[in-house]
Amino acid sequence: MKVDSILNGFVIDHIPAGLGMRLYDLLGLEKLNVTVALIKNVYSKKTGKKDIIKIDADIELNLDVIGYIAKDATVNVIKNGVIIEKKTLSLPEKMVNVIKCKNPRCITTTEQELDHVFTLADSEHGIYRCLYCEAEA
Amino acid sequence: MRSVIDILDLSKTEIDELIAVAEDIIKNPAKYSEKCRGKKLATLFFEPSTRTRLSFESAMYELGGNVIGFSSAQTSSASKGESVADTAKVISCYADIIAMRHPKEGAPYVASKNASIPVINAGDGGHNHPTQTLADLLTIKREKGTLNGYTIGFCGDLKFGRTVHSLISALSRYENINVVLISPDELKLPDYIKKGVLDKNGMPYTETTDLESVIPTLDVLYMTRVQGERFFSEEEYLRLRDSYILTPEKLENAKSDLAILHPLPRVNEISVKIDNDKRACYFKQVLNGKYMRMALILKLLKEAGSI
């Protein structure tokens, strides 16, 4: 399979296999009118399989979302076809409007104008809790 | 503006101070009878709760203050679709402090972020109920003389029981407390509380399904209701239900100074035959709740500069 190299943009590499599509959705990439490639189940020496996302545009990338979904991924920043920076990720302390609270008793289910806010409750296990009802994400 | 949404919004020192004030109110009620003269408590109860609402109202009246409010969502603007945020802003124009109960978890937090007066969470769904925990703490303090150094058993629904979770969190700041968790397997204390509170704070605990075998070891027994709707099968519920009903027979081997607590309402999990036993503290607990609410209202109004 051949996917063109990108000139200016990002390569999100080492996404655990199977999580690429979720990351694509949460980053809102379907709304972009630029070249985006989601490559699934790529051979990886380290993990066997991985997903990769390539974005051929210099967009504002929400690193918190990537850190939440795939904290071990790497984000390569490409300028004029050259990697100029490798961003490392960590679990974000707080996420606003990235995911929605699934607790049917949460106030966010009835008050639509509220932001959906999750805070990192357990960094060791990557557990996030809703700011309002404390339900686990 | 300082509000109390979760019991952990109060430091251990603050809780100890509230207990000291509550004990002083008990000794010298006249000293406090005019403290909130001219002040108004708004009781915003979006779902019915007789005890908690009346406890807050009587607390404010005994401080010399007044009460406004509503006791169900149908009689509030929520029935017209008003948001919690707007309600909090509007009520801030009328009252000096809010006590809010709401079926949606997190609603009092939203109110506190929008009100310009203190908000006390009077219960939000199955989430928090900090003033119940304050009532529990004062009851333990008055019955045992201390909040340190005893064995406390939690019995019944430890999975969904918010009062159990809050009390365990509050007790985690005190010393030498042994916890005995007594419940059917279906209703065991969630792992995130075992790991996040008990283990994290080095509180020793044991788990059992058998109340009778551990009752002789307990200094405090915190009973909760095992609700039928939590079980998949009616048969299983009926089989287990009676194991967690406290009867005079089960108390035969208990310590003579055991303190039996229950957040109420009781259905059948404590036999009425125990009500006259000197170890039954659940009605004293109701009274203690009023004193702690008085102490909390005073504290928050003072911090807000209202009194």
Share of chain A above pLDDT 90, in %: 90
- From CA A64, how far away is CA A61, in angstroms rounded? 9
Share of chain B above pLDDT 70, in %: 99
Residue B106 touches partner A, C-beta closer than 8 Å: yes
Alpha-carbon dihedral sign for residues B144, B148, B150, B153: positive
Please answer whether residues B134 and B142 qualify as being in contact, where contact means their C-beta atoms are separated by less than 8 angstroms. Answer: no
Residue B84 touches partner A, C-beta closer than 8 Å: yes
B105 closest CB neighbour out of A113, A122, A133: A133
Instruction: Give the pLDDT confidence of B217-262 residue by residue, as tens digits.
Output: 999 999 998 877 667 778 878 877 777 899 999 999 999 999 999 9
- Cβ neighbours around B101 below 10 Å, total: 24
Instruction: Give the pLDDT confidence of A11-54 residue by residue, as tens digits.
Output: 999 999 999 999 999 999 999 999 999 999 999 998 999 999 99
Given the residues B39, B40, B43, B52, select the one marked as catalytic.
B52
pLDDT band at B43 (very low <50, low <70, confident <90, very high): very high
Q: Is B102 a catalytic residue?
A: no
By C-alpha distance, the chain A residue nearest B5 is: A132
pLDDT band at B267 (very low <50, low <70, confident <90, very high): confident
Share of chain A above pLDDT 70, in %: 100
Residue B161 pLDDT greater than 90, yes or no: no
Q: Judge: A133–B83 Cβ closer than 8 Å, yes or no.
A: no
pLDDT band at B180 (very low <50, low <70, confident <90, very high): very high
State mean pLDDT over B21-48: 97
Please answer whether residues B189 and B154 qualify as being in contact, where contact means their C-beta atoms are separated by less than 8 angstroms. Answer: yes
- From CA B10, how far away is CA A133, in angstroms rounded? 18
- Cα angle value B21/B218/B201 (rounded, 5°): 65
A107 closest CB neighbour out of B106, B192, B196: B106
ipTM: 0.90
A106 closest CB neighbour out of B85, B105, B192: B105
A112 or B182: which leads in pLDDT: B182
Residue B119 touches partner A, C-beta closer than 8 Å: no
Instruction: Give the pLDDT confidence of B113-156 residue by residue, as tens digits.
Output: 999 999 999 999 889 999 999 999 999 999 999 999 999 999 99
Residue of B105, B109, B169 to mutate for A, most A C-beta atoms under 10 A: B105
DSSP single-letter state for residue B195: I
How far does the CA of residue A117 sit from the closest CA of chain B (Å)? Answer: 12
Given the residues B51, B89, B113, B250, select the one marked as catalytic.
B51
Given the residues B35, B102, B127, B129, select the one marked as catalytic.
B129
Instruction: Give the pLDDT confidence of A53-64 residue by residue, as tens digits.
Output: 999 999 999 999
- From CA B196, how far away is CA A136, in angstroms rounded? 13
- Cβ neighbours around B273 below 10 Å, total: 13
Residue B78 pLDDT greater than 90, yes or no: no
- From CA A16, how far away is CA A117, in angstroms rounded? 25
B38 or B230: which leads in pLDDT: B38
Given the residues B101, B142, B194, B293, select the one marked as catalytic.
B101
Domains in chain B, please, with CATH? Answer: 7-128+289-303 (3.40.50.1370), 130-285 (3.40.50.1370)
Instruction: Give the pLDDT confidence score for residue B175 in this predicted structure.
Output: 96
Of B262, B180, B167, the closest CA to residue B224 belongs to B262
pLDDT band at B215 (very low <50, low <70, confident <90, very high): very high
- From CA B31, how far away is CA B17, in angstroms rounded? 17
